[in-house]
Copies of this chain bind each other. A is one copy, B any other.
Amino acid sequence: MDIIEKCDCTAVHEDILNKVKNNMPCENNLYNLAETFKILSDGTRVKILYALLNSDMCVCDISALLDMTQSAISHQLRVLKQARLVKYRREGKSVYYSLDDEHIKSIFDQALVHINEK
């Protein structure tokens, strides 16, 4: 039984490796970070979140705003809902969506600072 070698380099810097290894966030946080960014990595979802930043909206309004089918919007709202980024309430035939996270704006703003300096 062979040990699988992922890195066969001989030049590994043990000191650096140990220092960095000790400062790495836990696996769980790293996973959640990537998952969070994955939710925000789609243009349609970013637009929806930005829209909701200004006003609650029903699915119909969002469809009209983004000029996309109701189905496409509905699917994306489900993703945002599962990620707990938005919540919803029913009002008659309509379903209104709103933000369920106070940090979205800060996250967007930080990313925009990055973008606007490049």
* Chain A residues in the interface with B (C-beta under 8 A): 6-7, 9, 11-13, 16-17, 19-21, 23-25, 29-38, 40-43, 45-47, 50-51, 53-55, 57-58, 60-61, 63-65, 67-70, 84, 93-94, 101, 103-104, 106-108, 110-115, 117-118
Contact = CB atoms under 8 A, between A and B. Distances in A.
Nearest to A69: B6
Given A37-B40, A43-B31, A47-B24, A61 B16 contact: yes
A34 B55 CA distance: 21
B118 A55 contact: no
Contacts of A47: 24, 30
A21 B66 CA distance: 9
B111 A61 contact: no
A61 B46 CA distance: 35
Q: How many copies does the complex hold?
A: 2
B33 A46 contact: yes
Contacts of A70: 7, 9
A111 B53 CA distance: 17
A32 B115 contact: yes
A73 B47 CA distance: 32
B57 A20 contact: yes
